[in-house]
Chains A and B, each alone.
Chain A
């Protein structure tokens, strides 16, 4: 149980375009979802936390107008990278939890590799 999927697993786009990444909890209802960014050989950096039905809370230094997060249902959150640039190329990972049932353990998706040309 507690499986999280991400789609797509990798995407290549041109500079200036927008890219949407989906994160789904497959067998549980995710009251909270998280979006991370991982640079090569570096740790995961939390970008934002979103609770179903409310606005996402962004970490300091993360542009909320550039990284749009929508958590419209208990099983789906989306991250849209708007007007992507090469410096946005990274590995984006989502995680999800249902604290009422799963406690404080987060379950991670497999990640999405974004390459902006």
Chain B
């Protein structure tokens, strides 16, 4: 079956610290992988995506690489800002019709 396992939070970091949020998946076939971000009081926004093995998605300083051999899609950012405080969701889509989400990881960045 299809599923996503995401590291549990909450995660609290100081500004300019390095961020890693782990995400591993189980899927049939070759799904597309996504990171969505949900800022307080807002809906989910697409942060980045990768559609095939070894692809790297990047946006706003965040990066994630589609690792087929380890079935992972870890989210990283070299230097977080207070404005990055949000909940981050890892997701996969085998077909584009169905999405499978992780449980979300809450990130708080303190000045």
Chain A residues engaging chain B, CB cutoff 8 angstroms: 4, 6, 32, 34, 41-44, 46, 49, 93, 95, 97, 99, 103-111
Distance of B96 from chain A, by nearest CB (Å): 3
Q: Count residues of chain B with CB under 8 A from any CB of chain A.
A: 23
Of the residues A41, A43, A104, A110, contact of B93 by C-beta under 8 Å: A104
A-B contact pairs, 30 of them (CB 8 A): A4-B43, A6-B43, A32-B97, A34-B99, A41-B104, A42-B104, A43-B4, A43-B89, A43-B102, A43-B103, A44-B44, A46-B99, A49-B97, A49-B98, A93-B43, A93-B44, A95-B44, A95-B99, A99-B96, A103-B96, A104-B51, A104-B95, A104-B96, A105-B34, A107-B46, A108-B43, A108-B44, A109-B43, A110-B43, A111-B43
Interface string of B36-59 (1 = CB under 8 A from A): 100001111110010100000000
